[in-house]
């Protein structure tokens, strides 16, 4: 029966897979640069193409991640994400594929940025080697990705909307008074 349907160009499994696949949803990322230097990086973003599933985010300062240690790398931006209907949406902070050429790994594999988060975007990274790793200003180790694999567009914004969540991140949901994590882990 399946062979006959395949011969007619009808593949029920392919149709089922297509029906189960979520629709691609494009995302608009509004970026508030926290300094004029960071704003200049995004104004001249040369590694961005309309329809890309990820938008590379810049490291904004030279920083050493010591061998075998973890650091929160500040990205110098706040951001909000919106869908085509104008609804705020959550988004993912994912490693770029080129991070595999470094000794860095995202501590949480993928960062979930909730729709209401308005604090500074940071990447929690581990240096998995026995040699210090130097991050240079302008390096791109992570990217902003839309749920569902849709394209990401971005625009710079002087300010972002306010939310009840605000700047609470990295485990703050259970503790309303929690602040952003320290730049270096406590020992």
Domains in the chain: ranges and CATH:
23-169 (2.70.40.10)
Model confidence pTM above 0.85: no
Which sign does the torsion angle of CA 162, 91, 32, 127 carry?
Answer: positive
Q: What's the pLDDT tens digit per position in 77-90?
A: 999 999 989 999 99
Q: What's the pLDDT tens digit per position in 11-49?
A: 555 555 555 555 567 899 999 999 999 999 999 987 677
DSSP β-ladder status, 152-156 and 27-33? parallel
CB 126 within 8 A of CB 72: no
């Amino acid at each position: 029966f399946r062979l006959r349907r395949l011969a007619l160009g009808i593949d029920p499994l392919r149709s089922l897979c297509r029906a189960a696949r979520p629709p691609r949803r494009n995302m608009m990322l509004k970026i508030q640069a926290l300094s004029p230097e960071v704003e200049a990086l995004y104004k001249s973003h040369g590694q961005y193409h309309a329809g890309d599933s990820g938008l590379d985010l810049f490291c904004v300062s030279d920083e050493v991640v010591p061998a075998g240690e973890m650091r929160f790398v500040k990205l110098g931006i706040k951001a909000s994400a919106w869908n085509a209907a104008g609804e705020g949406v959550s988004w993912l902070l994912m490693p770029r594929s080129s991070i595999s050429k470094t000794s860095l790994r995202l501590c949480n594999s993928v960062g979930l940025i909730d729709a209401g988060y308005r604090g500074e975007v940071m990447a929690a990274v581990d240096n998995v080697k026995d040699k210090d790793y130097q991050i240079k200003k302008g390096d791109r180790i992570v990217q902003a990705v839309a749920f569902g694999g849709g394209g990401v567009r971005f625009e710079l914004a002087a300010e972002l909307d306010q939310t009840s969540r605000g700047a609470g991140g990295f485990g703050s949901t259970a503790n309303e008074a929690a602040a952003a994590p320290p730049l270096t882990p406590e020992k």
